[in-house]
């Protein structure tokens, strides 16, 4: 058992003082349930380290610890980001999808402790199980060695190229592919108002529709709001994203030039309507 754990410790970059913690972090509830239903365990199972209970409590702690460490790293690395930008990138980095990718990269699946039935069913490679177990392992790292081993692991595996790529996407205005969220966050940061989307027209047959959507800047004093941009798309959602992208590009360009983006709407309206 200890020899197998050492392989994982090498990948984690931490030698555990308490192997019980790591064993618990790797133990899926299917195994603990299987053992609870078994009246007699084998001699080999009796010799395993203690801490063979489910890792679900550790998942809870690991999620919080990982979120803290990633938030701390982003806060230090990007003093120019506002709360919305920090929140979106952190959410991507600690997402189930990304943590499952991290788990796969370090070979965590081969170390999972599952019931025989679930092991045969392929649960070992399921992304949800991998991401949950990765969170449990983060909790074990924290409980065994404090925040520093978690920080070191996060810098190498959770952040790294993924964080750099997300930062580049954010810098380009893509807001990780969601221009509507990016526009809303930008306007909130500037305390300018709220974006409101309206369908201006529909054209084409049902199987090939085209929507023209206008996004306006709505504030308490300004009804119905100043037009920011228009966008088109085969669905309302696509047209809204297109309008938001155009508005965001205009706003950021105007801000870079020191101008007032709210006064530059007519040209954009004309060009997007064509």
Residues catalogued as catalytic: 63, 135
Alpha helices in 83-178 (DSSP H): 83-93, 96-105, 116-120, 127-145, 147-153, 160-171
Residues ≥6 apart with Cβ < 8 Å to 249: 173
Contact between residue 90 and residue 67 where contact means Cβ atoms under 8 Å apart: yes
Paired residues of 142 in beta bridges: none
Sign for the CA dihedral angle at 187, 192, 194, 199 comes to: negative
Type and span of the H or E element at 122: none
- CA–CA dist 43, 48 (Å, integer): 9
Which residues fall within 8 angstroms of residue 201, CB to CB, at 6 or more apart?
211, 212
Residue 216 backbone dihedrals phi, psi, to 5 degrees: -120, 155
How many angstroms separate the CA atoms of 112 and 226, rounded?
Answer: 56
Residue 18: strand, helix, or coil:
coil
The structure tokens 């239903």 sit at 37
């Amino acid at each position: 058992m200890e020899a197998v754990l050492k392989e994982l410790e090498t990948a984690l970059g931490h030698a555990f003082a308490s192997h019980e913690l790591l064993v618990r972090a790797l133990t899926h509830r299917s195994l603990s349930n299987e053992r609870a239903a078994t009246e007699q365990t084998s001699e080999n199972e009796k010799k395993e380290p203690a801490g063979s209970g489910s890792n679900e409590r550790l998942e809870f702690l690991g999620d919080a610890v990982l979120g803290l460490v990633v938030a701390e790293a982003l806060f230090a690395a990007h003093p120019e980001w506002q709360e919305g930008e920090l929140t979106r990138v952190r959410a991507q980095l600690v997402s189930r999808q990304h943590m499952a990718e991290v788990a796969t990269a370090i070979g965590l699946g081969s170390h999972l402790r599952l019931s025989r039935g679930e092991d045969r069913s392929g649960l070992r490679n399921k992304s949800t199980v991998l991401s949950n177990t990765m969170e449990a392992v983060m909790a074990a790292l924290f409980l065994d060695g404090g925040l520093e081993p978690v920080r070191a692991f996060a810098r190498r595996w959770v952040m790294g190229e993924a964080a750099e790529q997300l930062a580049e996407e954010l810098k380009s205005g893509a807001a990780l592919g969601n221009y509507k969220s990016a526009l809303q966050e930008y306007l909130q940061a500037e305390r300018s108002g709220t974006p409101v989307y309206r369908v201006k027209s529909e054209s084409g047959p049902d199987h090939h529709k085209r929507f023209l959507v206008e996004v306006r800047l709505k504030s308490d004093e300004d009804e119905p709001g100043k037009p920011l941009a228009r966008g088109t798309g085969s669905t309302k959602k696509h047209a809204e994203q297109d309008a938001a992208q155009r508005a965001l590009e205009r706003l950021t360009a105007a801000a870079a030039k020191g101008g007032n983006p709210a006064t530059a709407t007519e040209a954009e309206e004309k060009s997007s309507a064509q």
